[in-house]
């Protein structure tokens, strides 16, 4: 398939591009390089430096590259920033995405794969989270993702667009060959920050909250390898042949892992100590979030290669050890 990967130079998008090639598809990248990295995309892959909300430019790419499926990874994803600057999130994550859908329909491209998030569930009452759990986001970031999920349902019903929305838990790790990895600026995620602290590149890691009602007092999250996420996006293609398909899947390993367990995994992978301090809770952090991904496993045949935290962190360490400055030379 000819696949337009919107946000294909970003963390999850760039891993998906490589998995598409491995599966015999032809990816084309659209990325305005605000957060994406040109170096994350192999030179032979077409890369268009275009805004996803620019209907004229996107329409021309859809035609020229004979695109059959669009995958959309290009969202702003800093939860704290979304609280402080909600309009930025509504313009980019909602408004620009609606333009993308509009031009897709105008050009007759009717298959769409959307990056959603477990943040659409807010603070769930029951664990693990199933797709039918109530969705009540607690920040604008999660709300913008839910808004697009809802728009997609209506658009699919009205037009026959078929789509899959994947609700990721904590995307983590890097390509197994160490060629691409996670490089956010600013970095807010636990694993890269713990690695940077171990390497002496960042201050001591702050553990946000040690008094949670969890076994070791720190938050539990469901870390899922970025290549496992990517493979689910490709496994869904067959289902998108049904016009109007409206599909939602959780993607997580289902294994709850604490902040202290992540630190231990980084220490084991690196052979270094992770300096840390115990800090107050971070606003908006639910104590535990982990997935029931039975639906993706049974309906898509999704097989998780990285089922525990250590091998995930090992791949992250491999990338950060060989590229201490990320994509910067
Ligand atoms: N944490 C720390 N110290 C840090 C950074 C994180 O203790 O310096 C803790 C957090 O409190 C949390 C865990 O590590 O308990 C994971 O935090 P991340 O920031 O790595 O990830 P989140 O779980 O907050 O965020 C992820 C996605 C978001 C998504 C969110 C949904 O990265 O995009 O899940 O809750 F919105």
Instruction: Give the separation between CA 168 and CA 19, rounded to whole angstroms.
Output: 17
- Ligand 1 pocket: which residues have CB below 6 Å? 77, 79, 117-119, 141, 170, 188-190, 193, 205-208, 219, 221, 259, 282, 285, 289
Taking the CB of residue 69, how many other CB atoms lie within 10 A of it?
A: 24
- The tokens for 135 are 């969705």
CATH superfamily of the domain spanning 190-221+254-322: UDP-galactose 4-epimerase, domain 1 (3.90.25.10)
- Dihedral sign for Cα atoms in the order 116, 119, 122, 125: positive
Domain 2-172+223-251: CATH architecture, name and number where available? 3-Layer(aba) Sandwich (3.40)
- pLDDT tens figures, 247-301: 999 999 999 999 999 999 999 999 999 999 999 999 888 999 999 999 999 999 9
Instruction: Decide if 28 contacts 6 (C-beta within 8 A).
Output: no
Q: Where are the alpha helices (DSSP H) in 208-325?
A: 226-235, 259-270, 294-300, 309-322
Atom 24 of ligand 1: nearest residue by CA position: 285
Residue ranges of the domains in the chain? 2-172+223-251, 190-221+254-322
Residue of minimum CA distance from atom 35 in ligand 1:
119
Could you give phi then psi for residue 140, rounded to 5 degrees? -60, -35
Q: In this predicted complex, what is the ipTM?
A: 0.96
Angle at 121 between CA 206 and CA 301, to 5 degrees: 100
- Which residue has a Cα nearest atom 33 of ligand 1? 77
CA of 280 to the centre of ligand 1 (A): 14
What is the CA angle 56-155-10, rounded to 5? 55
287-307 pLDDT tens trace:
999 999 999 999 999 999 999
Active site residue 90: no
Give per-residue pLDDT as tens, 92-146: 999 999 999 999 999 999 999 999 999 999 999 899 999 999 999 999 999 999 9
């Amino acid at each position: 398939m000819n696949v337009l990967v919107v946000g294909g130079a970003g963390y999850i998008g760039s891993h998906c591009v490589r998995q598409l090639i491995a599966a015999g598809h032809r990816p084309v990248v659209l990325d305005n390089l605000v957060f994406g990295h040109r170096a994350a995309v192999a030179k032979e892959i077409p890369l268009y430096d275009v805004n996803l909300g620019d209907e004229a430019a996107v329409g021309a790419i859809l035609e020229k590259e004979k695109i059959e499926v669009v995958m959309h990874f290009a969202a702003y994803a800093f939860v704290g920033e979304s609280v402080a600057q909600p309009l930025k999130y509504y313009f980019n994550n909602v408004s620009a995405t609606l333009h993308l859908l509009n031009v897709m329909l105008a050009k007759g491209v009717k298959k769409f794969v959307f990056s959603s998030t477990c943040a659409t569930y807010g603070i769930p009452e029951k664990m693990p989270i199933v797709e039918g759990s109530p969705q009540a986001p607690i920040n604008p970031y999660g709300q913008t993702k839910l808004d697009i999920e809802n728009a997609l349902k209506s658009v699919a019903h009205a037009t026959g667009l078929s789509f899959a929305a994947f609700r990721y838990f904590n995307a983590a790790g890097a390509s197994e060959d160490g060629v691409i990895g996670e490089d956010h600026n600013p970095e807010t995620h636990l694993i890269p920050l713990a690695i940077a602290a171990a390497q002496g590149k960042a201050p001591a890691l702050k553990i946000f909250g040690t008094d949670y009602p969890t076994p070791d007092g720190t938050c539990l999250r469901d870390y899922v390898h970025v290549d496992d996420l990517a493979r689910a996006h490709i496994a869904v293609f067959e289902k998108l042949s049904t016009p109007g398909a409206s599909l939602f899947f959780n993607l997580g390993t289902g294994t709850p892992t604490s902040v202290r367990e992540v630190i231990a995994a980084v220490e084991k992978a690196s052979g270094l100590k992770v300096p840390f301090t115990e800090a107050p809770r971070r606003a908006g952090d639910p104590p535990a979030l982990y997935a029931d991904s039975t639906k993706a496993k049974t309906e898509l045949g999704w097989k998780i290669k990285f089922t525990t935290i250590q091998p995930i962190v090992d791949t992250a360490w491999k990338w950060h050890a060989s590229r201490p400055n990320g994509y910067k030379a």
